[in-house]
């Protein structure tokens, strides 16, 4: 278990909670004084009232809550979103309403889930050529194409 320091930048904020013993993500709640209205196709940045101190070498991924995504069409715009270890501002959840109905987000509604992930930074090594593979430069569906016999 990794400790992540959390600061309530709004006294009304709630610390994220795991909703079951096997949950990979902990639910984070909206911290807003007004009900937020998100029309179909609209995006919003929902405040959580929290800032965090993530250990170096880790990130927190922001992911949609599956129930909200399936039932209401509310999802995270840049899914998964990343909160970097050196960010100290308030966490805001960037959402989009892909549903057909206008959604209301109220104070303390569970809006997303947060997952702590280990990350390594890349050391880029410039080369002239890369090792060849069977796939080669095929992309965007190239591995699903069947070849006639």
Separate counts of helices (H) and strands (E) for the chain? 1, 11
Q: With beta carbons less than 8 A apart as the criterion, state whether 15 and 6 touch.
A: yes
Q: With beta carbons less than 8 A apart as the criterion, state whether 26 and 17 touch.
A: yes
Residue-wise pLDDT for 94-148, tens only, equals 999 999 999 999 999 999 999 999 999 999 999 999 999 988 888 887 776 555 5
Q: How do the domains of the chain map onto residue ranges? A: 8-121
- CATH code: domain 8-121 is 2.70.40.10
Residue 25: Cβ-neighbour burial (10 angstroms; 0-12, 13-18, 19+): buried
113: nearest Cα among 50, 5, 21, 25 = 25
pTM of the model: 0.87
């Amino acid at each position: 278990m990794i400790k992540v320091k959390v600061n309530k930048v709004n006294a009304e904020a709630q610390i994220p909670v795991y909703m079951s013993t096997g949950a990979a993500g902990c639910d984070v709640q909206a911290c807003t004084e007004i009900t937020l209205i998100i029309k179909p196709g609209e995006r919003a940045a929902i405040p959580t009232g929290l800032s965090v101190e993530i250990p170096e070498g880790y990130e927190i991924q922001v992911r949609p809550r599956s129930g909200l995504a399936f039932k209401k069409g509310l999802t995270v715009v840049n899914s998964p979103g990343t909160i970097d270890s050196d960010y100290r501002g308030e966490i805001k959840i960037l959402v989009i309403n892909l549903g057909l109905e206008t959604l209301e987000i109220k104070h303390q509604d569970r809006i997303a889930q947060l997952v702590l992930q280990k990350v390594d930074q890349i050391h880029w090594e410039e080369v002239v050529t890369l090792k060849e593979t069977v796939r080669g430069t095929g992309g965007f569906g190239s591995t699903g194409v069947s070849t006639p016999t």
